[in-house]
Chain A
Amino acid sequence: MEKLLNSLTGTIIAGFVLVIVEILVIHAIH
């Protein structure tokens, strides 16, 4: 996790992955 966070590019990519998870959660709840 620390290795990922030390990379700015890795952090941004992980952020976009979280957006995809978030979209799935929003639609899964309803």
Chain B
Amino acid sequence: MEFVGYDWWTQFIRWGHIISAIMWIGHLWYFNFTQTPTMPKIPTELRPAVVRFILPEALFWFRWGAMFTLGFGLILAYMNGYLVDAIKIGIGDDNHKFTAIGIGMWLGTIMWFNVWFIIMPNQNKVMGVTPATPDEVNAARRMAGLTSRVNTLLSIPMLYAMVFAAHYY
């Protein structure tokens, strides 16, 4: 029995994809299910503890979780031989699996883009990493929050597509 053959490496990359995704979506859901709804209940003088200490740390694992999820995911799709078919969401292939994994990949890629190019630049203004006026900080907080909610919304169909492509179609 070959121990570290091609199939082993494929599963190894899949494992890396999944633990990175848990790191990413775990933090996304922490923000949306726990931190954001709780913030208005926290006394004003205690809120800087969340924004200055917990938020930067959580965003670090959040954005790098997103990056590694995408990286491992693309490698996995390539190793499985369906990267191009998935990008085409299975059009012309007569295969439900390619359509499902393709929709999941596109949703995941949109979410990754939102993290790195919308949420992070706006959160950097909120945290004071990027200089901004109070009005700009308020606008940045709103945009980061709404985009984070969009990602929470997209995570539901994204996970359906990923799980069903791997285990059903």
Chain A residues in the interface with B (C-beta under 8 A): 2, 5-6, 8, 11-12, 14-16, 18-19, 21-23, 25-27, 29-30
Q: Which residues from A are CB-within-8-Å of B154?
A: 15, 18
> Nearest Cβ distance between residue B28 and chain A, in whole angstroms?
12
Interface: B124 (CB within 8 A) = no
Q: Are the CB atoms of B96 and A27 closer together than 8 Å?
A: yes
Chain B residues in the interface with A (C-beta under 8 A): 32-33, 37, 89-91, 94-96, 99-100, 103, 146, 149-150, 152-157, 160-161, 169
Interface pairs (5), CB distance under 8 Å:
A11-B152, A15-B156, A19-B160, A23-B160, A26-B96
Interface residues of A, dominant DSSP? helix
CA distance A15 to B160 in the complex (A): 10
Query: Chain A: which residue is nearest B89 at the CB level?
Result: A29
Q: Which residues from A are CB-within-8-Å of B160?
A: 19, 22-23
CA distance A30 to B98 in the complex (A): 11
Contact with A30, one of B32, B96, B152, B161 (Cβ below 8 angstroms):
B96
Q: Which residues from B are CB-within-8-Å of A27?
A: 96
Q: Are the CB atoms of A18 and B91 closer together than 8 Å?
A: no
